[in-house]
Structure 1
Amino acid sequence: MGNSKNEEIVWVKRAIKGDKEALGLILEKNQAYIYKMAYIYTGNQQDALDILQEAAAQSVDAIRTLKEPNYFLTWFCKIMIRQTGKLFKNRQHEVLVEGNQEWVDRAGLIFTDSTSIDILKAVMMLEDKYRLVLQLYYYQDFSVREIGQLLELKEGTVKTNLKRGREQLRKILGEDYYDRSR
């Protein structure tokens, strides 16, 4: 594993110096992770592919700005987050997420397919700052610290956004929704 990571760092350094093939190798090696993150941000396959394409194109020009090769994936995910924000701002309609089985509730709720869809739809209605931290925390199992690093937020801000996001979900879904899901 360590050797693979070292090889990636060499590729990142080459990419920073302008080697587009090295950038392609890094993106290819991490494509499953990058796609999963894009899907979590957008909630559907087509939008995930769109932001991936835009982020990859943008990274070709912006790779020179990456200062720490070890944080390539964090840097690339920030580009995808910005692309997701642009995508959603350009839309007049609400993005609906259906059939996503990946929702994990750490409070111990039992979900059926319909409750999972209800919650995912509600999550998509949240402001970006709440939606992103909830998705990273619950879908991706990122720690508060990791979310803070990824989004360049203080840990306290991440905790506040998680709490406020859950409160907004409770308002959207209704106070008794959680009782029905247990």
Structure 2
Amino acid sequence: MTSFGTDESIRRAVEAHSRMLLRIAMTRLPSPADAEDAVQEVFLKLLTARPQFRDEEHEKAWLIRATLHRACDMARSASRRDLPLEDAELLPGGELPEPSPILSAVQALPAKYSAVIHLYYYEGYSLKEISKLLQLPVPTVGTRLSRGRERLRQLLKEDVE
């Protein structure tokens, strides 16, 4: 078991996983700033909790699960307090680029489908690897991937029509 908390282990975890965790958070949070906040909170939780990991894969799985949970919590909280766009003041600094239609559709899926689709297509994990990361049976991961793809087809078909 390896302990987390030394300067070197913190730097290694941030360098190795921050980009991937940010992409994962952005599947649930449309704002890049919110996604960055979610990832920072996960790293803070890692630093303060100092969990024990069997190996690097165990650490990575913990980070992915924690990021998914934190992003879902933030999305749920934001949906309760969002203002209609016409009531919000525009901030200076320009507009954010529009996300691709496919990424928008992935973000619109329920979390259990978007997480699996993101890990499979965007991060390149196999079903077996996703199973380990999310602590789900391989058939469940396969079912979620299949159902998520079907929902994506429906969402994208609706956008075309």
Q: TM-score, normalised by structure 2?
A: 0.75
In 2, the alpha carbon distance for the partners of 1:175 and 1:45 equals 26
Task: Work out whether residues 39 and 47 of structure 1, in 8 Å CA contact, stay in contact via their aligned partners in 2.
Answer: no
Same amino acid, percent of matched pairs: 27
1:39 paired with 2:23, answer yes
Counterparts of 1:48 and 1:39 in 2: how far apart (Å)?
8
Q: CA deviation at 1:52?
A: 1.6
2:155 corresponds to which residue? 172
Is the contact made by 1:55 and 1:80 (CA closer than 8 Å) also made in structure 2? yes
Q: Which residue of 1 aligns with 2:10?
A: 24
2:48 equivalent among 41, 44, 61: 61
Q: Residue 2 of structure 2 is aligned with which of 8, 13, 20?
A: 13
Matches of 2:98 and 2:159, distance apart in 1 = 23
Partner residue, 1:158: 141
Give the aligned partner of residue 8 of structure 1: none
Please give the secondary structure, in 1, of the residue aligned with 2:78.
coil
Alignment of 1:73 onto 2:73: no
Amino acid in the other structure paired with 2:45: Q
- Distance in 2 separating the partners of 1:84 and 1:69: 25
Runs (5+) with no aligned partner, structure 2: 83-95
* Preserved CA contact (<8 Å) 2:131 2:138: yes
> Where has structure 1 moved over 4 Å in runs of 4 or more?
97-100
3-state secondary structure, aligned to 2:2: helix
TM-superposed deviation, 1:119: 1.5
| 1:148 paired to 2:134 | no
- Report if the CA contact (8 A) 1:145-1:155 is conserved: yes
Aligned to 2:124, the other structure's residue is in SS state: coil
Write the letter of the residue equivalent to 2:65.
K
- TM-score w.r.t. the length of structure 1 is 0.67
Structure 1: how far apart are the matches of 2:26 and 2:159? 28
Distance 1:69 1:165, change over 3 A: same
Which residue does 1:52 correspond to in 2?
Answer: 39
Alignment RMSD: 2.6
CA 1:21–1:72 in structure 2 vs 1: closer, same or farther (change >3 Å)? Answer: same
